[in-house]
Amino acid sequence: EPEVTQTPSHQVTQMGQEVILRCVPISNHLYFYWYRQILGQKVEFLVSFYNNEISEKSEIFDDQFSVERPDGSNFTLKIRSTKLEDSAMYFCASRGQGGTEAFFGQGTRLTVV
């Protein structure tokens, strides 16, 4: 069964460092998302991406964040200068054309120390 794959599963980084979280969406999907979940809190929308551009972004997605689809398979989230409060689980999701439900990857746990 097709699935969304995220790497790494856990990333530890020092405050101020750049991190790149990677996602491989389901192959024929066209809509891509990043969500964040701080431990014990709700799943928060960060950004949606379609046709090689950002469709919508939340107020969380400030200038420190960027997304990219560098090739036909990967979808990345970059945090330029990490802060302690960026520590969270980051979920990638994808959706197919005509489909409405999003399928989630297993997440990357980011720990900023």
Contacts with another protein, residue ranges (CB under 8 A): 31, 33, 35, 41-45, 48, 55-56, 89, 91, 93, 95, 100-107
Q: Which is nearer to another protein, 19 or 31 (CB)?
A: 31
**Rounded CA separation 93/82 (Å):** 22
**Rounded CA separation 41/35 (Å):** 12
Q: Which is nearer to another protein, 6 or 82 (CB)?
A: 6
| Residue 16 C-beta: closest distance to another protein, Å | 27
CA 105 to chain centre: 9
Q: Which is nearer to another protein, 14 or 97 (CB)?
A: 97
Give the number of other CB atoms < 10 A from CB of residue 62: 9
Residue type for position 25: P
| Residue 17 C-beta: closest distance to another protein, Å | 24
